[in-house]
């Protein structure tokens, strides 16, 4: 199979992928949890150019993400966290160490981030578009809110589109490697789209121009994966 076909296939079968399953907060999925795994990237380092450069992708995935995973596994070694899905760990993260919070968060957030980008975006599915329009007024209003959250997060952190327990979509941002699944989050829910705004995510190519990086993100969003996560979160 050609690389491009393979990438398209990921988008369409995402619900069946073991990783999307691992990201789900559904109780039935937890029973089949098979341990924490460092994920494949799913596309080449240069696949998201010109929006994200190959060197940034390579360092981000092989050094930063791998580092969070390794440090999480080291800290979780010998504890029942090795057998516990991250969503469940995050629900009581305030009772865990900073090491688990930062590295468990970094491990989870980057896996979600790689998955919600693609070199070959498809049109946004009707049900996702409608949910966004219902909860934000318009698609542009949502983009504006998400972009503002990403651009104004002070220091290092993430911008999120998430689903609350009421089933409504909301935009939020978190510091460091926190995310909306954590009990420490200001607004809690299931993240379905995330954008890394740490300087390591854009500085090589964009230097101080975070806003340009954020605006370019819309060119590489994998709406199919975001829609699948919305369906899972509401199930
Ligand atoms: Mn990062």
pLDDT at 108: 98
CA of 3 from ligand 1 middle (Å) equals 25
CA of 134 from ligand 1 middle (Å) equals 31
pLDDT at 31: 61
CA of 64 from ligand 1 middle (Å) equals 6
CA of 142 from ligand 1 middle (Å) equals 23
**All residues with CB under 5 Å from ion ligand 1:** 64, 196, 198, 201
CA of 203 from ligand 1 middle (Å) equals 11
Q: 3-state SS of 195-224?
A: EECCHHHCHHHHCCCHHHHHHHHHHHECHH
pLDDT in 10s for each residue of the chain, 235 residues: 333 333 333 343 334 343 444 454 444 444 689 999 999 999 999 999 999 999 999 999 999 999 999 999 999 999 999 999 999 999 999 999 999 999 999 999 999 999 999 999 999 999 999 999 999 999 999 999 999 999 999 999 999 999 999 999 999 999 999 999 999 999 999 999 999 999 999 999 999 999 999 999 999 999 999 999 999 999 8
| C-alpha distance from residue 202 to each of 60, 89, 119, 174, 214 (Å) | 10, 29, 17, 18, 9
Whole-model pTM? Answer: 0.88
Q: 3-state SS of the chain?
A: CCHHHHHHHHHHCHHHCHHHHHHCCCHHHHHCCCCCCCCCCCCCCCCCCCCCCHHHHHHHHHHHHHHHHHHHHHHHCCCHHHHCCHHHHHHCHHHCCHHHHHHHHHHHHHHHHHHCECCCCCCCCHHHHHHHHHHHCCHHHHHHHHHHHHHHCCCCEEEEEEECCCCCEEEEEEECCCCCCCCCCCCCCEEEEEEECCHHHCHHHHCCCHHHHHHHHHHHECHHHHHHHHHHHHC
CA of 79 from ligand 1 middle (Å) equals 26
**Exposed e or buried b per residue across 29-42, where buried means at least 16 C-beta atoms within 10 angstroms of its C-beta:** beeeeeebeebebb
CA of 198 from ligand 1 middle (Å) equals 6
CA of 111 from ligand 1 middle (Å) equals 10
pLDDT at 10: 37
| C-alpha distance from residue 132 to each of 65, 121, 126, 160, 189 (Å) | 30, 18, 10, 13, 15
* Domains with residue ranges and CATH for the chain: 52-235 (3.55.40.20)
CA of 56 from ligand 1 middle (Å) equals 10
pLDDT at 5: 36
pLDDT at 23: 52
CA of 109 from ligand 1 middle (Å) equals 8
CA of 146 from ligand 1 middle (Å) equals 18
CA of 89 from ligand 1 middle (Å) equals 20
pLDDT at 3: 39
* Listed residue (204, 197, 200) closest to 173, CA to CA: 197
pLDDT at 235: 86
């Amino acid at each position: 199979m050609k690389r491009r076909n393979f990438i398209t296939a990921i988008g369409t079968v995402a619900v069946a992928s073991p990783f999307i399953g691992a990201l789900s907060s559904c109780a039935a999925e937890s029973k089949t949890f098979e341990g924490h795994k460092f994920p494949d990237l799913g596309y080449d380092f240069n696949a998201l150019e010109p929006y994200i450069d190959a060197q940034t992708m390579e360092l981000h995935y092989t050094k930063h993400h791998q580092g969070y995973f390794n440090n999480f596994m080291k800290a979780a070694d010998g504890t029942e966290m090795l057998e516990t899905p991250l969503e469940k760990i995050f629900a009581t993260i305030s009772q865990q160490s900073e090491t688990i919070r930062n590295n468990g968060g970094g491990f989870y957030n980057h896996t979600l981030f790689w998955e919600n980008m693609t070199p070959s975006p498809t049109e946004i599915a009707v049900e996702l578009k409608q949910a966004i329009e219902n909860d934000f007024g318009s698609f542009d209003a949502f983009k504006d809110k998400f972009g503002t959250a990403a651009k104004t997060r002070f220091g290092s952190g993430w911008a999120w589109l998430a689903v609350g327990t009421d089933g409504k979509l909301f935009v939020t941002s978190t510091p460091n490697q926190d995310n909306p699944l954590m009990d420490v989050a200001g607004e809690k829910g299931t993240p379905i789209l995330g954008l890394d705004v740490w300087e390591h995510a854009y500085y090589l190519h964009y230097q101080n121009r975070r806003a340009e990086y954020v605006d370019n993100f819309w060119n590489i969003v994998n709406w199919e994966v975001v829609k699948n996560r919305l369906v899972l979160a509401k199930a």
